Structure 1
Amino acid sequence: MTLRYYAESALLADGWAQGVQLSVESGRITAVIADTAPVAGDHRVGILLPGMPNLHSHGFQRGMAGLVEVNKSRSDSFWSWRELMYRFVERMRPEDLEAITAQAFAEMLQSGFTRVGEFHYVHHDADGQQYANPAELSARVAAAAERTGIGLTLLPVFYAHSGFGGQAPTGAQARFINDLDSFARLYEALPAQLSALDGGVLGVAPHSLRAVTPAQLQRLVALTESGPVHIHVAEQMAEVEQCQAWSGRRPVEWLLEHQPPDERWCYVHATHLTTAECEGLARSGAVAGLCPITEANLGDGVFPVEEFLAHGGRIGVGSDSNVRIDLAGELELLEYGQRLTRQRRNVLAKEGGSTGRQLLEASLIGGGQALGTGAGLRVGAPADFFSLRAEHPALLERRGDAIVDSWIFGSGRGAIDCVWRAGQLCVSEGRHVLADEIGQAYQRALQWILGG
C-alpha cells in the first residue's frame, strides 16, 4: 500500500523545495516530487522536516529528572549524580523499566526524534542475578519501542569493572555486570527481541575504558561485523586523569592508538580533547555523540565542535540522561555552548549560512551513521519526518532556512504538530497518540520506585 504526504514546504536532502509530494511504501520513501500540486488522498501539511536520530539515551533515567538538583557539597559532580542513579535502579522492576522507557520514547517522538540509540546497561535483577531470559530487560526496551513506534538501535552495554585496569565492580553496579561469556549469551538472544520491530538495528556498547579491559574491548568489537559500536569516552576530567594514571595516555588517545575507530564507531561525549585527538577522531570517520543538555546538567564541559567540524568531523546529538527531552533544545545548546566559550555569535554556521540548517543537517547525517540507518527526506530513506505549525508565533512569515533557525532558537517542541515514523502517525497535535496510556503506566512505575 502506498501512502502519500504533501507539504507546502519541505527540507529535502538537497535543500528546500515547495509543493512536495512524498510516496511511502513499507516504511520507506519511494518517491519525492517537488513543484507539484496535491491530489486526493494526500495527507497535507504546511512545513515538513526530516525526523532526527537520537544517538544516545538511557531511557530509564527519565524517571530521575529533577531529583538531583540539590547542592549537598561544593564537590557535587557527575560522580555524586551517579550515586542517586544507583539507588534509583535498585527498586526498578522489569515492568517499571519498560514503562519509564516508553514515556521517554514518547517524549522523544513529540520533540522530533524518530529513532533512538538505547545505550542499555541494566541487565539483571536487583541482587545481580540473571533473569531466566538473559535478555529480559532488553526485551522490555524493545517492547517500549514497539508500543511508541520509535525506531530502535539497541546498544547492549558490556560493563565488567568499576575502574581502569580491571578494578572489581561495586555492589551498586550488580545489575550491570557481565563477563564475556554471559554477555555473549545475552547478545545471541537479542536478534529475536528485535525481530518484531520495523527497522530494528543491533549494535554493541563497551561502556567505557574504565569498565572494560583492553582484551575485553577487542572481543566485544568482534561481536558485530557491521553494526554500530558506541562507547562513553573522556566525558569528565577525572576520567581523563585516571586513564593517564593507568596507561600514560588520555582516553581518546589510547583508543586511537590501540583500538582505532572507523565509521561504525560513536564516541559518546568525547568532551575533553587535545588538538591531536580532535584531528585523529575526525580523520577516523567516527561520530562524536554530543548530548548538550545532559553535559550541561552534569557539569561535564563543552566539546570543541567548531574545531572538530573544521577537521571534517561528524557529529550527532542525543538526550542521554533524558533530564529534558527536546531536540531543538539539544541543537540550540550545542551552538550556545560554543558562543559562550568563543564569545561570538553563529559559531557553527558557514559564512553566510544558517546556523540552524547547519546544526540540523550535520546532526541528521552523523546520527544516521551512528545508528546504522539512513536519514533525511530522500528516496530510500526511512519515512521519518515531522511537521511544524506554520501559525506558531515564532514561525510566522518565515521562509526557507529562517524556519529552521526560528524553530531551534525561537520555539522548540511547542511548534511541532505531527510526527511520522516509518510512515505511521505517532504524534498528532503535539501529543503522542498513546500519551494517556503511556503516562498512566509511567506514573505507576514512579509510585513504586519513589513512593516506597
Structure 2
Amino acid sequence: MSVAVAAEFWCERAWLPGGVAERVSVGCDEAGVITSVAPGVDPGQDMSRLSGVVFPGFANGHSHAFHRGLRGRTHAGGGTFWTWRDAMYRLAGRLDPDTYHRLAGLVYAEMALAGFVVVGEFHYLHHPPGGGRYADPNAMGEALLAAAAHAGIRITLLDTCYLAGGLDGSGYQPLSGPQVRFGDGDVAGWAARWSALAERPGARVGAAVHSVRAVPAEALPGFAAATRDRPVHVHLSEQPAENEACQAFHGCSPTELLAGAGLLGPRTTAVHATHLSDKDVELLGAASVTACFCPTTEADLADGIGPARELADAGCPISLGSDQHAVIDPLAEARALEHGERLRTGQRGRFSPAELVAAATERGHRSLGWPDGGRIAIGAPCDLVAVRTDTARTAGASADQLVLAGSAADVDSVVVGGRMVVSGGVHRSFGSVGAELARVIEGLWSA
C-alpha cells in the first residue's frame, strides 16, 4: 500500500460513535491515523470534500476471492450446495499464482468500489494441481497479499488448515481430486508453511480451520496451540449434513467438538453458524465468539437462516462477509441480515440500523485483528466511505437509516488510511474494473 500523506476531509454528514453528525472535519497524520474529528465545521479550502453520509470503512469478514468467478454460472437446473461445490472445484483447478493475483486484485478492487476497506481472505488454495509444491510454498497466499495492496485495501490472510476430504459416519475421508491442492499433510506441515508468512503494512496473518469436515478432531488441539495469539476463523454448521456427520462419528455437534479442542474464544470467528442447537448458541455466546454471517451467500446457496439475534443476545458479536461474492455489497449484507431475521421470526427491527452498521464496520475489523478500525474517531485508521443521498435509491432516506436503503452503487468515495482509493465511483488504480473482470473470468473458464 502507498504511504498516506497528512490530509483533512470535510464530510457533509458522518457516522460517528455517538450517531450521525453534520459538517464534520476529519484530519489524519502521515501514517493515515485519525488525529482530529470536529463536527459543525465549515469546509476549508484545502479539505477534500465528501458528500452524502460518510461511514467508517466497511469490513468484509469472510471472502474466498476465486469464488467470484462463479457469479452467474451456477444456477442452471437449480442444484444444491454440493453441486455448486463441484463447480467451485473445477474453477479452483485452473488457477496459478499469476492468474490468482490478477483475479483477486480485481475482486478486491470491486470490494473497494463497494466501500470495503479490509478483507478477511479465507485462503485454502495453497498448492499446484496434483498436490505438489511451488518454489515458494506460499506463492498463492503471497499473490493474495499483493493483490490487496494493489487494490488499496487491507487484508487479513486467514491461511486455512485443510487436511481431510470430508466426514461421514465411518470417519474422515482422504483428500481427492482438486482437494489435494488444499492439504499440507498434517497440522505440523500446515504450521510450518503458515509460520513463514510475514505480516507487513496493510496485511495481517490469521488462521482458519476449514471446517470439522476437513480437519480431523485429533488435529484440532495442535492447531489451537499453534495459533493461540492470532485471529482464527472456521466454517461452522453451514449445512445440516455437517452436523449429522459430526454427530454420527463424534457423538456431538461441531460447536461442541471445537469447544472440546479449546478453539472457542474471543479471537475465534464462526462463519455462517446457521444450523445450531440452543446448546451451541450458549457455548458460542459464553465464549464471546464472533459470528460472521454472509446473508447473500447463505441465500444463494440455500443454506438457511441462522439464529443471528439469539447469538447476539447470548454474547456473540455479529460481523458480515460476502463469502462467494454472488454479491459484493456491505449494505446489502447488512440489510439481508435484518431481512432474514424478519422472514425467520415475523418481526421487524430485530437489529437496529446502528447494530447493522456496527456489524459491517467495527465488529468485522475486530474479528480480523484490526481492533482500532471501523470507527471515525481519534486513533482509528482514517477509513471513510461516502454514500450518496441523492440517488434514486437513497433520495429521501434518513441519514441514520441509510444502511437500509443504499447499495454499493451509491458509494461515491472511499478513503483507506487517508488515501483516496475510489473517487466519483471510479477506482483510481484500476479504472474500469468490470471489463477486466469479464476478460479474466472468461479466460479461466475457457482455459
Higher helix share: 1
Q: Which structure 2 segments of 5+ residues have no match? A: none
Match of 2:45 in 1: 40
Match of 2:102 in 1: 99
Helix, strand or coil at the partner of 2:274: coil
Match of 1:372 in 2: 369
| Mapping for residues 370-449 of structure 1, pairs under 5 Å | 370-373=367-370, 374=372, 375-407=374-406, 412-436=407-431, 442-449=437-444
In 1: Cα distance, 2:403 partner to 2:330 partner: 12
Aligned residue identity for 1:270: A
Length-normalised TM-score, structure 1: 0.92
Aligned residue identity for 1:167: Q
C-alpha contact (below 8 Å) 1:9/1:16 kept by paired residues: yes
Match of 1:27 in 2: 32
In 1: Cα distance, 2:83 partner to 2:404 partner: 36
User: Is 1:363 matched with 2:363?
Assistant: no
In 1: Cα distance, 2:107 partner to 2:367 partner: 20
Q: How many residues align?
A: 435
Match of 2:178 in 1: 172
Return the offset for 1:443: 4.2
Helix, strand or coil at the partner of 1:189: coil
User: Is 1:335 matched with 2:338?
Assistant: yes
In 2: Cα distance, 1:223 partner to 1:385 partner: 35
C-alpha contact (below 8 Å) 2:334/2:403 kept by paired residues: no
- Select which of 330, 346, 349 maps to 1:346: 349
Aligned residue identity for 1:361: A
C-alpha contact (below 8 Å) 1:134/1:185 kept by paired residues: no
Return the offset for 1:83: 0.8
Q: Which moved more, 1:394-403 or 1:146-155?
A: 394-403
Return the offset for 1:441: 5.2
In 2: Cα distance, 1:27 partner to 1:328 partner: 25
C-alpha contact (below 8 Å) 2:162/2:184 kept by paired residues: yes
Aligned residue identity for 1:40: Q
Aligned residue identity for 2:368: L
C-alpha contact (below 8 Å) 1:204/1:227 kept by paired residues: yes
Match of 2:67 in 1: 61
- Select which of 229, 240, 244 maps to 2:232: 229
Helix, strand or coil at the partner of 2:44: coil
Match of 1:353 in 2: none
Return the offset for 1:188: 2.6
| Mapping for residues 267-282 of structure 1, pairs under 5 Å | 267-282=270-285
Return the offset for 1:96: 1.4
Return the offset for 1:81: 0.9
Q: Which structure 1 segments of 5+ residues have no match? A: 350-355
Q: Deviations over 1:127-172 (max 9, x none)?
A: 2111010010001101110110111001111111012344211122
In 2: Cα distance, 1:367 partner to 1:347 partner: 19
Match of 2:135 in 1: 132
C-alpha contact (below 8 Å) 2:56/2:384 kept by paired residues: yes
- For the structure 1 residues 297 and 404, does the alpha-carbon distance in structure 2 shift closer, same or farther, using more than 3 Å as the test? closer
C-alpha contact (below 8 Å) 1:204/1:221 kept by paired residues: no
- Select which of 284, 294, 297 maps to 1:294: 297
Helix, strand or coil at the partner of 2:327: coil
Return the offset for 1:440: 5.8
Length-normalised TM-score, structure 2: 0.93
Aligned residue identity for 1:335: E
Return the offset for 1:70: 1.1
- For the structure 1 residues 181 and 441, does the alpha-carbon distance in structure 2 shift closer, same or farther, using more than 3 Å as the test? farther
In 2: Cα distance, 1:78 partner to 1:199 partner: 34
Match of 2:194 in 1: 187
- For the structure 1 residues 52 and 420, does the alpha-carbon distance in structure 2 shift closer, same or farther, using more than 3 Å as the test? same
C-alpha contact (below 8 Å) 2:6/2:32 kept by paired residues: no
Task: Detail structure 1 runs of 4+ shifted over 6 Å in the superposition.
Answer: none
In 2: Cα distance, 1:336 partner to 1:403 partner: 15
Q: Deviations over 1:175-233 (max 9, x none)?
A: 11112343233213210xx42xx331111111111111223222222223422000111
- For the structure 1 residues 439 and 148, does the alpha-carbon distance in structure 2 shift closer, same or farther, using more than 3 Å as the test? same
Match of 1:352 in 2: none
Return the offset for 1:421: 1.0
- Select which of 311, 314, 322 maps to 1:311: 314
Residue identity (%) = 34
- For the structure 1 residues 442 and 405, does the alpha-carbon distance in structure 2 shift closer, same or farther, using more than 3 Å as the test? closer
Return the offset for 1:104: 1.3
In 2: Cα distance, 1:58 partner to 1:264 partner: 20
C-alpha contact (below 8 Å) 1:252/1:270 kept by paired residues: no
Q: Deviations over 1:12-62 (max 9, x none)?
A: 122221221111120211211122222221111222111111110000110
Return the offset for 1:260: 4.4
Aligned residue identity for 2:142: A
Return the offset for 1:398: 4.2
Q: Deviations over 1:58-78 (max 9, x none)?
A: 001101111110126xxx321
In 2: Cα distance, 1:370 partner to 1:174 partner: 29
In 1: Cα distance, 2:202 partner to 2:33 partner: 10
- For the structure 1 residues 17 and 305, does the alpha-carbon distance in structure 2 shift closer, same or farther, using more than 3 Å as the test? same
Return the offset for 1:343: 1.7
Aligned residue identity for 1:243: C
In 1: Cα distance, 2:436 partner to 2:127 partner: 22
C-alpha contact (below 8 Å) 1:125/1:131 kept by paired residues: yes
